[in-house]
Amino acid sequence: MKFATAIIVGAGQSGLAMSWHLSTRSIDHVVLERGEVANSWLKERWDSLRLLTPNWQSRLPGYAYSGDDPDGFMTMPEVVRFLHQYASLSRAPIVTGARVTRVRQQEAGYEVETNLGAWRCRKLVIATGACNLASIPQLAAGLPARVASLTPLQYRNPGLLPDGGVMIVGASASGIQLAREIRAAGRRVVLCVGEHVRLPRTYRGRDIQWWMDVIGAMDVRYDTMEEDIERARRLPSLQLIGTPERVTVDLNSLGKAGVELVGRVVGLADGKAQFSGSLANLCALADLKMNRLLSSIDDWVNASGLAQQFPAPHRFEPTDVGSQTRIGLDLNDAGIGSVIWATGYRPDYSWLDVPVLDRKGRIRHDGGIVPAPGIYVMGLPFMRRRKSSFIDGADDDAADLAAHLGHNLNRAAA
Amino acid sequence: MGERKARKSRVRRFTNPLTSDLSPKENEMTITTSARAKVNNGVNVDALLGARTALEQAPEAAQFKWRASCEWVNGTHSRSAIGSFFGLGAEQSRNKTFTVEADHPQVFASEDSAPTPVELVLSGLASCLTAGVAAIAQRRGIQLHSVRASLEADMDIQGILGIDDEVRNGFGAIRVHFDIRADASEDDIKALVAQSQRRSAVFDIVTNPTNVFVTAN
């Protein structure tokens, strides 16, 4: 059986950043990757998807975007190339094609079974990502058999969808992007809107990610928040899209484009969907939260004395859902041929045979430190910082956790 | 809802209102304990948060059963009694049983001896949202001076009279307007009302479908 002091599972941005930090600490390790580097980015994303963060924000330890379009948004092939280059420049000790099938606790460490044989390690870093599986609500079972049911992990482009209208469930980043492009392809689109986080792509002449970066919003730590961190971690993804035109896609723009906005799906039986009457309130909440963020940006600008450098503050149109929102839809009458469940993602820990999951199947951790000796997790939403699940968040988290890991190794050795 | 019942139900409904705040200033904006102590809306936030923490560890104790019984009086007049309920893993009794009467107005050829049931639904929604506003304001350190909710609901009674099957029996729409005086900005007041809807049981009951099982004898 092969041995490494530390095993990192997954060679995406998190695994590669952790590998870099372990290397700088001379901690012997191996990165096990089920497919190839950046596998999820390569195989589990739709064709038109671009990163939601600008190129300049693709920063990893010892490495950053150096092209001539810092304000652009990478396509998926570009993300894959970016991470491949990083893997080769950082000389990460990656074993590709090694799918981990089981991890068990062993004396003073773990046994990691893979299709390429077993490893033993003392420390385990789970860097398999937060989006391995689509979360689909239970009521999906009530969908009529003739209506196709798919998730954003399977969706590629409008042309590959079954004929007919499309009901998209969920209006976070995935849902609004799919609604936009499927509607632009001439399909009827019904978008079911639950809780969402509305953000403009740009504000006062800068990208919203630039603002959140400079005002320190992305660096807010999990252990400095007085409020319940678990709720912050469950916050839906930002309503953003990365396009060369830097467009803002929100419920107003989708409505103008002919996307029908309805409330959260709360019933699905006998070929009929029922929608919650709470749509207006969820939109009001999202508008209020967006304006609170814009106010904090304005406050930062005023406090910095740089107000002259930016266009004047302004506010965006409140979300208009009208007063005639439908609360029911006969899928057959409406010609709905497919439903896309853009209802979020969750990690896959089916291979982890260590009792560290809570009753909802989430991994328990304190800022990435899992309550089992020597296990760490990376890349989860707001894991240590608001940016933890972003490419730009991998460096700081990996640095912290590598320090913790190294400290524990030294203590064990002493 | 009686006062005691409202408090108990808030134990389940109430969760931290500030958590999903995107603002990077949330630490600065969070009201300090001393500032919070000066605000008194008559809501024991610490007890509610304590209950929340306890119930996170014991989700089975969060399973409540609410009850009401109703006796026909005469005509469309009826009287409901609301007493015990189940929660926190045990039967919960009260010092008294509350009664709520309902009837229909004279335009329905009734005696008008009490509000109509649909008006009681509006009252339930208003009370639930108002209780939420008070609790969330307390949590956010906002002193309330007055809270007044006005409600109006549309109904096409061709539904209940069986004139047109395509017209539903219930409300076509409900409109709620809050007039709130408080030591807070307009946006903060709007946020109170929005968060109250997000955490309201009755708001959920009227906006989402519920399975109903009715038996006889």
Dihedral, CA of residue A286, residue A240, residue A383 and residue A300, to nearest 10: -70
**How many residues comprise chain A?**
414
Q: Which amino acid is at A163?
A: D
For A94-142, the pLDDT digits (tens) are 999 999 999 999 988 999 999 999 999 999 999 999 989 999 999 999 9
For B193-215, the pLDDT digits (tens) are 999 999 999 999 999 999 999 99
Q: What is the mean pLDDT of residues B117-135?
A: 98
Q: How confident is the model at residue A88 (pLDDT cuts 50, 70, 90)?
A: very high
Say if strands A63-64 and A59-60 run parallel, antiparallel, or are unpaired.
antiparallel
**Predicted local confidence at residue A225, as pLDDT:** 80
Rounded Cα gap, residues A119 and A110, in angstroms: 8
Scanning every residue of chain B, which has its alpha carbon at the shortest distance from the alpha carbon of A225? Answer: B27
| Interface size between A and B, measured as CB pairs under 8 A | 87
Q: How far is CA A350 from CA A8, B15, B193, in A?
A: 17, 31, 42
B24 vs A216, A226, A232: nearest CB: A216
Instruction: Evaluate if residue A342 carries a pLDDT over 50.
Output: yes
Confirm or reject contact between A224 and chain B (CB < 8 A): yes
Q: Taking the model in full, what pTM does it have?
A: 0.89
**Predicted local confidence at residue A170, as pLDDT:** 97
Percent of chain A with pLDDT over 70: 100
CA distance B208 to chain A (A): 5
Q: Which chain B residues contact residue A215 at CB under 8 A?
A: 24
**Predicted local confidence at residue B46, as pLDDT:** 84
**Predicted local confidence at residue A107, as pLDDT:** 85
Q: How confident is the model at residue A414 (pLDDT cuts 50, 70, 90)?
A: low
CA distance B2 to chain A (A): 25
Cβ within 8 Å of residue A232, ≥6 positions away: A222, A225, A382, A386, B19, B20
**Predicted local confidence at residue A54, as pLDDT:** 97
Instruction: Evaluate if residue A252 carries a pLDDT over 60.
Output: yes
Dihedral, CA of residue B70, residue B75, residue B76 and residue B77, to nearest 10: -50
Considering only CA atoms, which of B172, B160, B156, B206 is closest in space to residue A324?
Answer: B172
Task: Report the interhelical angle of B117-139 vs B45-57 (nearest 10°).
Answer: 100
Say if strands A197-198 and A202-203 run parallel, antiparallel, or are unpaired.
unpaired
Considering only CA atoms, which of A69, A64, A54 is closest in space to residue A13?
Answer: A64
Residues 46-75 of A with CB under 8 A from B: none
**Predicted local confidence at residue A40, as pLDDT:** 87
Q: How confident is the model at residue A186 (pLDDT cuts 50, 70, 90)?
A: very high
Percent of chain A with pLDDT over 90: 91
| Contact present, A15 and A41 (Cβ < 8 Å) | no
Q: How far is CA A333 from CA A38, A165, A326, A330, in A?
A: 42, 11, 14, 5
Average pLDDT, chain A: 95
ipTM: 0.84
**Predicted local confidence at residue A334, as pLDDT:** 96
State whether A231 and B25 contact (CB < 8 Å). no
Q: Helices marked H in A305-393 — which ranges?
A: none
Instruction: Evaluate if residue B44 carries a pLDDT over 70.
Output: yes
Ramachandran angles phi, psi of A103, nearest 5° = -125, 125
**Predicted local confidence at residue A193, as pLDDT:** 98
**Predicted local confidence at residue A410, as pLDDT:** 84
Confirm or reject contact between A290 and chain B (CB < 8 A): yes
Instruction: Evaluate if residue B22 carries a pLDDT over 50.
Output: no
Q: What is the mean pLDDT of residues A387-401?
A: 97
